[in-house]
Structure 1
Amino acid sequence: MLVLDAGNALFKSSRPGGDPKEKERAALLLELMDAMGTTAMAVGSRDLTLGTDFLVRTTKGKKLKLLSANLVGAGGKPLFPASTVVTVGDVKFGLVGLSPEGPAGAQQGVVGKPPVPAAIAEARRLRTQEKVDVVVVLAAMPYPDALALSQEAGNSVDFILQSHDNRGQGVAQRNDFATLVPTGERGRQIGHLALSVGGKGPFVDLSEPERAQQNLRILDANLQQARRSLAAAKDERTRKTWEETIASFEARRKALALQVESGKQGLERTHRLSYIQLGSNVRDDAEVKKRVERIEPPGSASH
């Protein structure tokens, strides 16, 4: 298992001073992420509230790596590694971090360069020089920028895990080659992306044929009803309307049937996305809960 975080995890606001215990809270989050075996995290706007020095100091000696391919300081010097490479089982992953474009956090001189070209350049380097099997971009940036990356990256990027906009969970969306994955919001869920890595080409979403099968059942019921309505229609105008509707349904049915059939083929490069909701049904760790409640006491506005 590879544990990753797409960023914007540490602070409730990108402006400092909003929470008297914000430093203690962020340090605890980083400590626990490292304890859970998190390999890498992108540096987002809500991770930079107390500046880059705080992040570097707090993660010193930890296995957790902070990544950003486009965040620079004075003189254009990179502030964090652009990427890291890790092998899980026999699969070699290249992980790229991205921050939002423009001035970042409250620290003077810290700027995010255009993220899309930075990500593509680093992903291509990982493909050609590091010979990685899978490239994952941890994109702590607005959804439109992540969408642009998925459309422009070609075959250099396999997955883009996006955070920034509190978008919540959703379905994975493939654009050409890269698949854009929503990562949930406010730590309320854990995304679980199961991969089967073999062969070449883009990853195929195994849930697409399943959704197509469900839609096919609904469409078949609508098609039967439309045919009954056509048989009962008396005037030519109504019949023509139902004939056009049936033709549209049949064309849609053909497309769905092809999707269902594709799921039956022996695919080598697949993914399936699901979410684990972190609600009351998930047991608390007693020691962690105690430490959290020292920072955010039960009944407080922040709890």
Structure 2
Amino acid sequence: MLVLDAGNALFKSAAAGGDPKEKERAALLLELMDGLGTTAMAVGTRDLTLGTDFLTRSSKGRKMKLLSANLVDAAGKPLFPASTVVTVGGVKFGLVGLSPEGPVSTQKGAVGKPPVPAAITESRRLRTQDKVDVVVVLAAVPYLEAVKLSQEAGNAVDLILQSNDNRGQGTPQRNDFATLVPTGERGREIGHLTLSVDGKGPFVDLSETERAQQNLKMLDANLQQARRSLAAAKDERTRKSWEETIASVEARRKALALQVEPGKQGSERTLRLSYIALGGNVQDDPEVKKRVERIEPPGSASH
């Protein structure tokens, strides 16, 4: 299992001073994420509330990597590693981090360079030099920037895990080769992405394939009914109307058939996304609960 975080995990607000225990809270989150075995996290806006120096000090000595391919200081020097490579289950993953574009309000001189070209450059390097099997971009950027990356990256990127807009749960979206995956909001759920990496080509969403199979069954039933109606039609005007309807349904069926049979598209790699809601049905860890309640006591506005 590969545990990742798309960023914006540490602070409730991008502006410092809103929470008297914000530093203690963020340090605890970093410790717990590392303890959970998180391999990497992108540096997002709500991770920079106390500046990059705080992040560097707080993450020192931890296994979890903080990544950003486009965040630089006043001299143009990268503030964090652009990527890291890890092998899980015999699969070599290249992980790239992205931060929002523009000046960092909480740290003078720090700025996020345009994220899309930075991600593409680093992803191509991972493909050619490190020979990774799967490239994952942890994109702590606005949703439209993540969409742009999925449209422009070609086959340099396989998966984009996006975090920035509190979009909640959703379904994977493939605009070209790369698949854009929503990551939920405010730590209310864990996204569980199961991959099969046999073969080549873009990942095919098995849930989308299953929905297409269900729709195919309905279209086939509609086609049968339409053909019976065509056979029973007595005047030319009615026959022509049914012929047009049948042609439209058959075109839709042809498109759905491609989704049902991904092998015909030259791809055998598949994914399935599900979410684990972190509600009352998930048991608390007693020790973690005690530490959390020291920062956010029960009954407080922030609990």
TM norm structure 2: 0.92
In structure 1, the residue corresponding to 2:214 is in which secondary structure?
helix
Aligned AA (1:287): E
Deviation string for 1:64-112 (max 9, x for gaps)?
1100000011111110000111111221111110000001242111110
Question: Would the aligned equivalents of 1:191 and 1:273 in 2 still touch at CA under 8 Å?
Answer: yes
Deviation of the 1:268 alpha carbon:
3.8
Deviation string for 1:122-160 (max 9, x for gaps)?
111111111111111100000111111111111111111
Deviation string for 1:172-204 (max 9, x for gaps)?
112221111111111111111111223332222
Residues 1:50 and 1:249: Cα distance change in structure 2 (over 3 Å): same
Question: Would the aligned equivalents of 2:201 and 2:268 in 1 still touch at CA under 8 Å?
Answer: no
Q: How far apart in 1 are the matches of 2:261 and 2:98? A: 37
Question: Would the aligned equivalents of 1:206 and 1:263 in 2 still touch at CA under 8 Å?
Answer: no
- Map of 2:70 onto structure 1: 70
- Map of 1:140 onto structure 2: 140
Deviation of the 1:243 alpha carbon:
4.3
Deviation of the 1:265 alpha carbon:
10
In structure 1, the residue corresponding to 2:125 is in which secondary structure?
helix
- Map of 2:171 onto structure 1: 171
- Map of 1:296 onto structure 2: 296
- Map of 1:247 onto structure 2: 247
In structure 2, the residue corresponding to 1:279 is in which secondary structure?
coil
Deviation of the 1:301 alpha carbon:
1.6
- Map of 1:203 onto structure 2: 203
Q: How far apart in 1 are the matches of 2:14 and 2:206? A: 37
In structure 2, the residue corresponding to 1:85 is in which secondary structure?
strand
Worse-superposed segment, 32-41 or 212-221: 212-221
- Map of 1:181 onto structure 2: 181
Aligned AA (2:49): T
Question: 1:1-303 to 2 correspondence within 5 Å?
Answer: 1-223=1-223, 240-262=240-262, 268-303=268-303
Aligned AA (1:219): L
Aligned AA (2:269): R
Question: Would the aligned equivalents of 1:4 and 1:40 in 2 still touch at CA under 8 Å?
Answer: yes
Worse-superposed segment, 63-72 or 264-273: 264-273
Deviation string for 1:28-67 (max 9, x for gaps)?
1111100000000000000000100110111111101100
Q: How far apart in 2 are the matches of 1:277 and 1:234? A: 57
Deviation of the 1:225 alpha carbon:
5.9
Q: How far apart in 1 are the matches of 2:265 and 2:127? A: 28
Aligned AA (2:144): P
Residues 1:230 and 1:33: Cα distance change in structure 2 (over 3 Å): same
Residues 1:263 and 1:184: Cα distance change in structure 2 (over 3 Å): farther
Residues 1:294 and 1:221: Cα distance change in structure 2 (over 3 Å): farther
TM norm structure 1: 0.92
Q: How far apart in 2 are the matches of 1:268 and 1:258? A: 13
Deviation string for 1:217-273 (max 9, x for gaps)?
333455566567778889876665554333322221232233223379996422211
Question: Would the aligned equivalents of 1:68 and 1:97 in 2 still touch at CA under 8 Å?
Answer: yes
In structure 1, the residue corresponding to 2:122 is in which secondary structure?
helix
Question: Where do 5+ consecutive residues of structure 2 fail to align?
Answer: none
What is the root-mean-square deviation in Å for CA atoms of aligned residues?
A: 2.3
Aligned AA (1:145): E
Q: How far apart in 2 are the matches of 1:37 and 1:26? A: 17
Count of residue correspondences: 303
Worse-superposed segment, 243-252 or 66-75: 243-252
Residues 1:265 and 1:116: Cα distance change in structure 2 (over 3 Å): closer
Aligned AA (1:197): V
Worse-superposed segment, 182-191 or 209-218: 209-218
Residues 1:164 and 1:32: Cα distance change in structure 2 (over 3 Å): same
Percent of residue pairs bearing the same amino acid type: 84
Aligned AA (2:299): G
In structure 1, the residue corresponding to 2:41 is in which secondary structure?
strand
Q: How far apart in 2 are the matches of 1:259 and 1:169? A: 23
